[in-house]
Structure 1
């Protein structure tokens, strides 16, 4: 079978006891970057064979992995941080397992957009998760579509593109639209900054930005 196992997004204590138990029991652990995952696994003294599974090889290895699972092996899929399938590879393997009648189980655990959404102060009863925006093709079209979205919107972004994205959102959604930016969640330098798109863009324009970014934007009124 296949287990999807969330891993901490920063603080290594943010992992469930069940996740650790599953990782101790499986035959092989699939991971994005074996070097990154080894730090987490070594911290909890988990020594299992690691096999790379990422966006550059997932199409090539899916059939081989499902064959191994049908032959009796149990795999766990983890990512560098967070829940597999949330802006990280997982979908192709999960779909293939379902088609082949292989049991798939996803454990509950950390996902960066959940704490960012909940602590934003923006309504969380209805929201849409957009993940990473297109870098070029389709970017403007998507902004135009989302300009009238009434639900709260959640995005992932890189530090290098944060200010540019906030400026573009201010242009398409209105500079006074309320938003919240969270970075380095669960880590030592966690920061949550809230205000209008214009205010938040100006704030981050004046400083050096590092770490993983979650942007939460209020829906259109």
Structure 2
């Protein structure tokens, strides 16, 4: 393949894009660690740079500043966080669909504890950066899911509950294991936490929702 003068060599383009992708990933992973520990207000670019093993100017090559990094993480988080609720199947067995959602949310608290704390910190601050997502993405999704749950209740497939409070309860009981991980770790043997939580929440919600 002939190389046209003035054009970057194909191999160089690929190498540069891989380096940039890797560095961007390192920055976001480091920022997730820093933000989940210190919150947005307590985090600094210097801390993120130290955690990433990159210089502060290098961080600013990829992102405009701390808020840009934080918003990028929140954007990624919302897609991941809402996926299990979007996957509730209106044609499936109502109780099993909701239990699958409970189990997946609990698994996510184990797999993504830093992301859960990032989200919790943002909400505790009044959702200044994630507010548009809550209105645009979360609100209509919760409305649709609540309407679906109500249809299942009206059809006699589920015991009567308030659909929105049910969703809130699922969030509270599953994400607790991520957001209060340090406390849970002191109070329980870590090897038993998630297996015990799964059995407990399964019994709790099945008892609540079985007609």
Fold similarity call, TM over 0.5: no
The structure with the largest strand share of the pair is: 1
Greater helix proportion: 2
How high is the TM-score relative to the length of structure 2?
A: 0.30
Q: TM-score, normalised by structure 1?
A: 0.29
The structure with the larger Rg is 2
